[in-house]
Homo-oligomer: A and B are copies of this chain.
Amino acid sequence: MNAIGINAGDKQAHATALPLASLVRRSAVTTYTAGTEIYVPGALADNFYEVEYGAVRLHRLLTDGRRQVVAFYLAGETFGFEADRRHTLFAEAIVATGVRTISPGTGEMSAHHVLKLALQAVQRAQEHLTVVGRQTAVERIAGFLVDMAERQGNLEHFDLPMSRLDIADYLGITIETVSRVFAKLRNSRLITLKTVRSVKINNMEALASLCA
């Protein structure tokens, strides 16, 4: 089943997506199955990538084996920027995912748009930081859900492509706490879980108010 597949070909990208089509050289879409690597730390950072469908996770492995998920990218969003010539993070498809590889041109036009995407990445990271900096798990999960809803077109019903473990590593908490907070939000009728990964937000205002 995989509710995730429903995003394939979905054009309603929006918010953060930029129309890159006419600005850069575009190659064909590469498909990745769930859990496969798109790039690894140390790999040459010579392209960037636009998610056609599915979802991608950027993460870093800590020395003790823990993982910090740095970002998620959904359909229409672009990733792969690096300050250096080599990647410092892992990029992995979370579910079956189509990714368009983009070779940045050298022209001025392209640089401007890369800059704009980079600035969006800064803003995204700062917002992530604000969510993770919060003190309680409820605030973090609520912030995460609100963000996911916004990025999927402000739908009240959407599917989470990522596992509880991904969410935990993204928010800096454990999967047990993630699970308990979901249960708490469900019990208080703020959300409904049709399946584990299918979220319906019943009261967006109340949920948003939990984000402090």
Instruction: Give the B-binding residues of A (Cβ under 8 A).
Output: 1-7, 13, 44-48, 60, 62-64, 66, 68, 70, 80-85, 88-89, 104, 106, 108, 111-112, 114-116, 118-123, 125-126, 128-130, 132-135, 169, 171-173, 212
Residues of B within 8 A of A3 (CB): 44-48, 80-82, 85, 104
| Residue from A1, A63, A121 having most chain B Cβ neighbours under 10 A | A121
Q: In the complex, what distance in Å separates the CA atom of A119 from the CA atom of B82?
A: 6
In the bound complex, residues from chain B placing their C-beta under 8 Å from that of A171 are 133
User: Do A81 and B4 touch (CB < 8 A)?
Assistant: yes
Contact A45 to B2, CB < 8 A, known contacts A13-B84, A172-B132 = yes
**From residue A156, how far is it (CB to closest CB) to chain B in Å?**
22
* Chain B residues, CB < 8 A from A80: 3
User: With A and B bound together, what is the CA distance between A177 and B146 in angstroms?
Assistant: 29
